[in-house]
Amino acid sequence: MAKTLTQEFTKGLWKEIPPFRLVLGLCPVLGVTTTMENGIGMGLATTFVLVFSNILVSALRNIIPSKVRIACFIIIIATFVVVVELLMQAYAYPLFLKLGVFIPLIVVNCIVLGRAEAFASKNNLVMSIADGLGIGIGFTLSLSALGAIREVLGTGKFLGASVFGPSYEPFTFMVQAPGAFVCLGLMLCIMNLVGSK
Amino acid sequence: MGYMEIIIGGIFVNNILLAQFLGNCPFLGTSKKMETAVGMAMAVVFVLVLAGVITWLIYTFFLVPYKLIYMRTIAFILVIAALVQFVEMFLKKSIPALYAGLGIFLPLITTNCAVLGACILNIDKELSFMKTLVQSAAYAVGFGLALILFAGVRERIILARVPKPLQDTSIGLVTAGILSLTFYAFKGMI
């Protein structure tokens, strides 16, 4: 256990980047990434919950009895999800409407619970913050990459601005449900191909 | 909206796994073998219907009168966690055969977003009690159908020669995309 702070932070960016390396929390990944904006918004909301639940779980790790720890983690996570929900309703209402059911569903995102159980409950506060930030930013990056690919191919636009000009016939398949699965599967394939070399 | 529409819509058109993307972790996690897929599908049918009804009752008769709607997420996840625990104890005592069949999948359902997601969707659509019951059952059957179909396909993929980088989850996702495409064909029905 002689890992440095930077190692804990950077592992979330490549070595254990969700959802590619840890195949967890797929629902928001597939559900909201029709545009890059949605992807970034969802990623940041998840990062917020991840960092703060890691902080609280890590701070309370010696107080929480191990028998009821999962229930305690879920309550801690749910509290922060409600905080995010209310904050987004107040300051980013259009985005909140677009993300819809996926914001309350951060509660059952396996990545958040997985980090609380596998990391924050065993490590100190500073390490847990680094871990939460790393995984959260990695998750945001993957979501925005997937969102960008689907938006560019599916609508011919990037963040609302036209990329290919008016003659481009949008490849609508990409922004619909089946395209999400196929696109994520192919991205995973490319990651495996690059990683194996 | 009639009951027939809710049933067809819940099972095929708005299939909770392939069109709404809820519950994808167990979808990919438990679909490698037919046995585990059937176990998971049964457990979800069981819990989703119960959870849908109970969260509706709690929302309508407790959260709304006491102006606690903003506590919805916390209340629902607690209800689901307690429900899963209760169902587990009940099955262990009274139907041990079913309990043994469901095994590990029952506790895992707490963090299955299909359950919480379906409950929240029902509330957002402001359905009546009976419609909530029918809608939950339709979602649950749709989940089971998609999961079991997918498990059947995946068992065949094991026999095929898949290029190395595409193996496992990667080919699983592409297959799910094709399955999703077949469900997409029902879109015009409603």
Q: Which residues of B touch A86 (CB under 8 A)?
A: 70
- What's phi and psi for A177, nearest 5 deg? -50, -50
Specify the long-range contacts of residues B124-128, CB closer than 8 Å, at least 24 apart.
Answer: B124/A101, B127/B56
B21/A180 touch (CB, cutoff 8 Å), yes or no: yes
Give the pLDDT of residue A113.
86
Q: Has residue A167 been placed in a domain?
A: yes
Decide if B18 touches A, using CB distance below 8 A: yes
- pLDDT of the residue at B97: 81
pLDDT at A26: 80
The sign of the torsion formed by the CA atoms of A144, A149, A153, A158 equals: positive
Question: Residue B176 sits in which domain range?
Answer: 3-189
* Residues on chain B touching A85 (C-beta within 8 angstroms): 70, 73
A2, part of any domain: no
| Whether pLDDT at A2 is above 60 | no
| Number of neighbouring beta carbons within 10 Å of residue B185 | 10
Q: With a CB-CB cutoff of 8 Å, which residues 43-62 of chain A face chain B?
A: none
- Residue A58: the pLDDT is 92
The larger pLDDT score, comparing residue A1 to residue A60, is at A60
| B24 contacts chain A (CB < 8 A) | yes
**Would an 8 Å CB–CB cutoff place A68 in contact with chain B?**
no
DSSP codes of every residue in chain A: ----HHHHHHTTTTTT-TTTTS---HHHHHHHTTSHHHHHHHHHHHHHHHHHHHHHHHHTTTTS-GGGHHHHHHHHHHHHHHHHHHHHHHH-HHHHHHHGGGTGGGGG-HHHHHHIIIIITTS-HHHHHHHHHHHHHHHHHHHHHHHHHHHHHHHSEETTEESS-TT----GGGGSHHHHHHHHHHHHHHHHHHHH-
**Full domain range(s) for residue A48:** 7-196
Q: Give mean pLDDT, residues A52-63.
A: 92
Residues of B with CB below 8 A from A75's CB?
74, 78
Per the rule left: phi > 0, alpha: psi between -120 and 50, beta: everything else, B128 is beta
Q: Give the percent of chain A with pLDDT over 70.
A: 96
Domain assignment present for A188 = yes
Residue A23 at interface with chain B, using a CB cutoff of 8 Å? yes
The list of chain B residues with pLDDT below 50 reads none
Q: What is the ipTM of this complex?
A: 0.83
Question: What pLDDT, on the 0 to 100 scale, is given for residue B113?
Answer: 83
Tally of domains in chain A: 1
pLDDT digits (tens, 9 = 90+) for B37-70: 888 888 888 889 999 999 999 999 999 898 888 8
Most confident of A53-57, A175-179, B20-24, B156-160: A53-57
Please tell me the distance in Å from A31's CA to the nearest CA on chain B. Answer: 5
* Domain count within chain B: 1
pLDDT given for residue A1 in this prediction: 45
Whether B117 and chain A come into contact, CB under 8 Å, resolves to yes
pLDDT digits (tens, 9 = 90+) for A61-88: 888 888 888 888 888 999 999 999 999 9
Q: Model confidence over A114-166: pLDDT tens digits?
A: 888 888 888 889 999 998 999 999 999 989 988 988 888 888 888 777 777 77
Q: Which residues contact A122 (CB under 8 A, 6 or more apart)?
A: A61
Examine residue A1 and state whether it is found in any structural domain, yes or no. Answer: no
Q: Is the residue at A153 inside a domain?
A: yes
A18 domain residue, yes or no? yes
Residue B2 confidence (pLDDT): 83
Please tell me the predicted confidence (pLDDT) of residue A197. 59
Name chain B contacts of A28, Cβ cutoff 8 Å.
21
Phi first, then psi: give them for residue A190, nearest 5 degrees: -65, -40
According to the 3-state scheme, what is the secondary structure of chain B? Answer: CCHHHHHHHHHHHCCCCCCCCCCHHHHHHCCCCHHHHHHHHHHHHHHHHHHHHHHHHHHHHHHCCCCCHHHHHHHHHHHHHHHHHHHHHHHHHHCHHHHHHHCCHHHHHHHCHHHHHHHHHHHHCCCCHHHHHHHHHHHHHHHHHHHHHHHHHHHHHCCCCCCHHHCCHHHHHHHHHHHHHHHHHHHHHC
